[in-house]
């Protein structure tokens, strides 16, 4: 084989390699795009209710990143030793453990077995002492009597509930007259980056006027809506009173 033929063969092989590589990359990109919706659905399902083997990792991840939302929640709730607190969508028990240690009695409810197991580890001593209770259940059917609690908190829960209005009505029911609700419910829609991220994941975020109406329709009064500026996650906080 002469030199010209060898060069022609090498050229063909190189072009074949380049074409094959480009085709492989293009195929991988198309695969990622095609699976993106599945990935987003999986991510949101884990954020909603951690489950399965990866749910343990997701639960730990959530617990590590929630404190920036727990701090303003505790500030707005103005907890005292005499308060009896219910934390709806309590997750791994981080809020009850860090910010409600001095309260006489606390309760938490969540629908994730994994989150509740994590919460049992954190609150084990209080559970044994009878000063805390953890329940698996649905926020739209709270298993407590009317007028049971002085404060109800809910961090990153209402955003995921299928029937947020029913959950708010249940929170109103278990609060005593004069009781306080502090919860996150949506995002700061003036923050375009946060809105884009939520839209990409398919994370529903109701406008403020709809949230106000839903909270008031549940029976709450003295509603305040705030947007803490110090948070990486641009959450909308609601504070309200049961008349």
pTM: 0.78
Average pLDDT over residues 22-51: 53
Query: What's the rounded Cα separation, in Å, for the pair 211 and 128?
Result: 38
61-241 placed in CATH 3.40.50.300: no
Of 96 and 63, the structure prediction assigns the larger pLDDT to 96
Is pLDDT at 30 greater than 60 in this prediction? no
pLDDT band at 218 (very low <50, low <70, confident <90, very high): very high
pLDDT band at 8 (very low <50, low <70, confident <90, very high): very low
Instruction: Enumerate the β-bridge partners of residue 152.
Output: 86, 181
Burial of 95-111, coded b for 16+ CB within 10 Å and e otherwise, reads: bbbebbeebebbbbbbb
| % of residues, the chain, pLDDT over 90 | 55
CB 144 within 8 A of CB 118: no
Ranking 26-30, 142-146, 150-154, 205-209 by mean pLDDT, the lowest is 26-30
pLDDT of the residue at 28: 39
Cα dihedral angle (120, 138, 108, 179), rounded to 10 degrees?
180
User: At 201, which helix (H) or strand (E)?
Assistant: helix 192-201
SS3 content of the chain, % helix, strand, coil (to 5): 50, 20, 30
Q: Model confidence over 187-204: pLDDT tens digits?
A: 877 777 777 776 666 677
Domain locations in the chain? 3-36, 61-241
Rounded to 10°, the helix 52-65/3-48 angle is 70
Token pair for 103: 């309260």
Q: Model confidence over 161-188: pLDDT tens digits?
A: 989 999 999 999 999 999 999 999 988 7
């Amino acid at each position: 084989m002469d030199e010209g033929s060898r060069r022609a063969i090498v050229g063909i092989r190189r072009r074949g390699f380049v074409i094959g590589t480009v085709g492989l990359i293009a195929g991988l990109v198309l695969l990622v795009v095609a699976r993106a919706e599945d990935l987003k659905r999986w991510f949101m399902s884990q954020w909603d209710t951690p489950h399965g083997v990866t749910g343990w990792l997701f639960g730990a991840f959530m617990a590590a990143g929630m404190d920036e939302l727990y701090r303003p929640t505790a500030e707005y709730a103005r907890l005292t030793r005499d308060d009896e607190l219910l934390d709806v969508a309590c997750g791994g028990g981080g809020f009850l453990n860090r910010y409600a240690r001095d309260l006489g009695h606390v309760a938490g409810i969540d629908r994730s077995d994994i989150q509740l197991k994590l919460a049992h580890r954190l609150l084990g001593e209080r559970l044994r002492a009878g000063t805390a209770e953890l329940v698996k259940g649905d926020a739209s059917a709270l298993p407590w009597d009317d007028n049971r609690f002085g404060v109800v908190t809910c961090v990153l829960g209402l955003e995921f509930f299928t029937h947020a209005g029913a959950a708010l009505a249940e929170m109103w029911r278990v609060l005593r007259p004069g009781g306080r609700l502090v919860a996150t419910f949506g995002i700061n829609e003036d923050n375009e980056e946060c809105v884009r991220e939520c839209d990409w994941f398919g994370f529903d975020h109701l406008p403020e006027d709809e949230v106000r109406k839903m909270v008031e329709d549940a029976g709450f009064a003295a509603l305040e809506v705030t947007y803490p500026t110090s948070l990486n996650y641009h959450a909308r906080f609601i504070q309200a009173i049961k008349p």
